[in-house]
Structure 1
Amino acid sequence: MKAIAKIKKGKGLKMIEAPVPRPAADEVLIQVDVVSICGTDLHLDRWDAWAGKRVTHLPQIIGHEFSGHVVETGKNVKRFQIGDPVTADSHIPCLKCAVCLKNLPHLCNQLQILGIDRDGCFAEYVVIPSRSLWENAPELPPEIASIQDPLGNAVYATLVEPVEGQNVVILGDGPVGLFAAGVARASGAEKIILTGLNPLTLKIAEQMGVDRVIHAQKEDVSQIIRDECEGVGADVLLEMSGNAQAISDGLSALRKGGRFCAFGLPSSPVPIDFSDQIIFKGIRLFGISGRLMFKTWRQMAGLLHVGKLNPRPVLTHFLDFDDFEQGFALMEAIPRLAGKVVLVLKPAFLKEIQERQSLEVSRFVSLPPLTKGD
């Protein structure tokens, strides 16, 4: 089978031929239809300090965002049948450790991450333990099904507490930040503000329902947030960038008693005035890792089913699986040239997906070609 793999340390990924994996007793073999590129995959492509420290085994098939259908089940698998449309949570818990037994499997002490600790989904087939699988609604398009892992991050961060009637500020214009804007709008937020740096993604933010975009390098982030939020600051702050200055600005712009969700990963320790920015303000601080398994998935399915949440504006490019290098180049460009890039393994699916996207999302900015020759 074809697969995209990290072969050796250093920049770059390679398309390889790999054997089709066989499912163990508790695993499911999935034929992959669609995958999407994540920030984690970019780290692996660049082989930066994080990747060098985190990945211990090479070669490694990468990827953890996908949709597909079941083609074989292990002998102990009862919940899934051949033909079921599925995706998976990228977190694979043991379900036996003390943390799992406290109903927090997404934080498992023995946690494996798909595409990091075991072969991932950027391949024609992938095996995944059934405990991490999610069955998709038959009517859910495969390109939308493939982005549920990062969309779930946004749902978890945004809805860890209700946002109805709240002023929500999102720091960071990457895909998860943009998805969070859509989740907040669908869930009744009063005002949504998003900060970022990229002209393309700031325009996408407006399509996702953002009321006010702030260019973080050209405007006074903290002052604008306070001015837009009745002079007292944001009710909810979703930190999606991992940028030290953004974290400081966010804590300063959060009202007393507000909620701060930390999702973005800083590259180094961040100094915080713990007394003034947290204790005396009485804020509620949440660390967001993964998704609640499977409460977040049920919330996400509901929002998608009733049509309140439309993530399509974030999906800017649809490419043939063989053209993965083009997709990575679009996402790694400075300034970034794509929102979310989706790779399609079946050529017939690609045309169908492009037509569906063009019908459901109007193009709002000139973009590079969707595929070679288009």
Structure 2
Amino acid sequence: MKALVKAKGEPGLWLMDVPEPEIGPGEVLIKVLRTGICGTDLHIRKYDTWAQQAVSLPRVIGHEFVGEVVEVAPGVTDVAVGDLVSGEGHLVCGKCRNCLAGRRHLCRSTVGLGIGRDGAFAEYVTLPASNVWVHRVPVDLDVAAIFDPFGNAVHTALSFPLVNEDVLITGAGPIGIMAAAVAKHAGARNVVITDVSPYRLQLAEKVGVTLALNVADHTIEEGQRKLGMREGFDIGMEMSGRPEALREMISNMTNGGRIAMLGLPSDEFPVDFAKIVTSMITLKGIYGREMFETWYAMSVLLEGGLDLSPVITGRYPYQEFDAAFDEAAGGRCGKVILDWTV
């Protein structure tokens, strides 16, 4: 079968013929239909310091996908041939304290699809049936392909109650924009999203944010004044991993404000912990999705009319992966999709 492989310890990806994967006990074989390009995939293509440490070579990459089940192992009863599915890309041990307590997203032995196990940028992929999410209601294939990052957005956005709250989101990448859409859908009063990219701020406006603020030109304080806010934001979602973004967020929170942090910094950086303590601000780290509570919430949000289509801006046949990756790396885009059916 054809697959995108990180074959060598140098920048680049290679479209190669590799053996079709075989299912093991409790697993399913999935014919891949669409995949989404993630920031993680860009790191692997670039082969930066993180990728050099995290990825064993050779490796079929990719973890955002939708596909059709074509084979199930004996004993698998909750997934059937013909099911349209996406997959939870964090494979857990099932034996540690958190797994046994039902907190699988906190497993200390998590293996990432497309990082520690061959991934979904291929014509076929295998997964444990326990990691498969069956789409029980109709869903657009492009949207189904990005359920993984959509789950990051939902996990972040629903970490704290949102009804009638004023929300600040720093970072208008695709996940930040999806989080903004969720916050508005869930009943937030004001949703302000910040970035320095006019293109991405325009995308954010399409999902109905109250204010898309270019912080290269305006301060968050100016945004507050424009909206008539007097006491700061109730909820923060830090999606950029930028030191200045978190520092500005902290300084613009109300007393007792709560911040969910998904953005992953590249290095350590200082913050004003005196402000955090004296303002009684809560910081919560977010990684991945809650299995599978977040997935239920994602499906229900879409059933309830949440529209993610503005976030998807690029579609390519998988053979044109280089052009797709170049667009995804360029920043003037939302989510970029690869079609594996052509």
The TM-score bracket by the shorter chain reads over 0.9
Specify the alignment match of 1:312 in structure 2: 309
Aligned to 2:341: 346
Aligned residue type for 2:315: F
2:325 pairs with 1:328: yes
Of the structure 1 ranges 293-302 and 76-85, higher mean CA displacement relative to structure 2 is found in 76-85
2:100 equivalent in structure 1:
101
In the alignment, does 2:8 pair up with 1:8?
A: yes
Question: Given that residues 93 and 109 in structure 2 are in contact (C-alpha distance below 8 angstroms), is that contact kept between their aligned partners in structure 1?
Answer: yes
Secondary structure at the counterpart of residue 289 of structure 2: coil
Residues 222 and 262 of structure 1: is their aligned pair in 2 closer, same or farther, counting only changes over 3 Å? farther
Please list, as runs of the form range in 1=range in 2, the aligned pairs for 1:255-270 lying within 5 A after superposition: 255-270=254-269
**Separation of aligned partners in 1, 2:224 and 2:22:** 53
The number of residue pairs the alignment matches comes to 342
8 A Cα contact 2:160 2:235, kept in partner: no
Q: Cα distance, 1:275 vs. partner? A: 2.4
| Alpha-carbon displacement from aligned partner over 1:197-232 (angstroms, at most 9, x marks no partner) | 212111000001111111122222345346646221
Other-structure match for 1:159: 158
Structure-2 separation of matches of 1:151 and 1:193:
19
- Distance in 1 separating the partners of 2:62 and 2:236: 29
Question: What is the distance in 2 between the residues matched to 1:179 and 1:138?
Answer: 20
The one-letter code matched in structure 2 to 1:176 is: I
Unaligned runs of 5+ in 1: 348-374
Higher relative contact order (CA 8 A, sep 6+): 2
* Partners of 2:211 and 2:223 within 8 A in 1: no
Residue 124 (1) aligns with residue 123 (2) = yes
Change (3 A) 1:116 1:225: farther
CA contact (8 A) 1:261 1:285 kept: yes
1:142 aligns with 2:157: no
2:284 is matched with 286
Residue 298 of structure 1 and its aligned partner are, at CA, apart by 0.6
- Partners of 1:40 and 1:100 lie apart in 2 by 25
Change over 3 Å in CA distance of 1:208–1:127 after alignment to 2:
same
* Shift of residue 283, structure 1, vs aligned partner: 1.5
Distance 1:89 1:225, change over 3 A: farther
Distance (Å, rounded) in 2 between the aligned partners of 1:164 and 1:311: 20
Structure 1 counterpart of 2:132: 133
The answer to whether the 8 A contact 1:226-1:234 is kept is no
**Percent identity (aligned):** 39
CA deviation after TM superposition for structure 1 residue 141, in Å: 1.7
Structure 2 residues without counterparts, runs of 5 or longer: none
For 1:110 and 1:76, locate their aligned partners in 2 and report how far apart those are by CA, in whole Å.
Answer: 25
Instruction: State TM-score, norm by structure 2.
Output: 0.97
Deviations 1:170-222 (A, max 9, x none): 10011100100110111111111000121211100000111111112222234
Alpha-carbon separation, structure 1, partners of 2:245 and 2:183: 20
